[in-house]
Amino acid sequence: MSEALKKIAADSMKNEVPQFEIGDTVKISVNIREGERERIQMFEGTVIAKKGSGVAETFTVRRVSYGVGVERVFPLHSPNVKDVQVIRRGKVRRSKLYYLRDRVGKAAKVKEQIR
């Protein structure tokens, strides 16, 4: 039984997984279905968490839109997540950046990593 589940999970995983870390600013292309129509919507923000492994791996992206914090959780291997582009690399020392929820303005920014 578990062999069949592993095979199904392996088939649904993406071959090309984008390389990004916690604190990176990313731009995600998401496929949105509205009735019969499909369109691609962009969501740009800071990665504040990564969770899970294998086919169940997810990542949380946060941005501030019109003064309101918006967080979305994306499954990494979902067919609706078309593309993930890294805009800039962040310099952080934590695995989860939930403390950014309490910060406002410039204090909510993550320093850029110099390479």
Pick the CATH number of 2-102 from 1.20.140.10, 3.40.30.10, 2.30.30.790, 2.60.40.10: 2.30.30.790
Torsion sign (Cα): 54, 52, 5, 74: negative
3-class SS of residue 24:
coil
Stated pTM of the model: 0.86
Segment 25-46, tens digit of pLDDT = 999 999 999 999 999 999 999 9
Does residue 99 have a pLDDT over 80? yes
Phi-psi region of 57 (alpha: psi -120 to 50; beta: other; left: phi over 0): beta
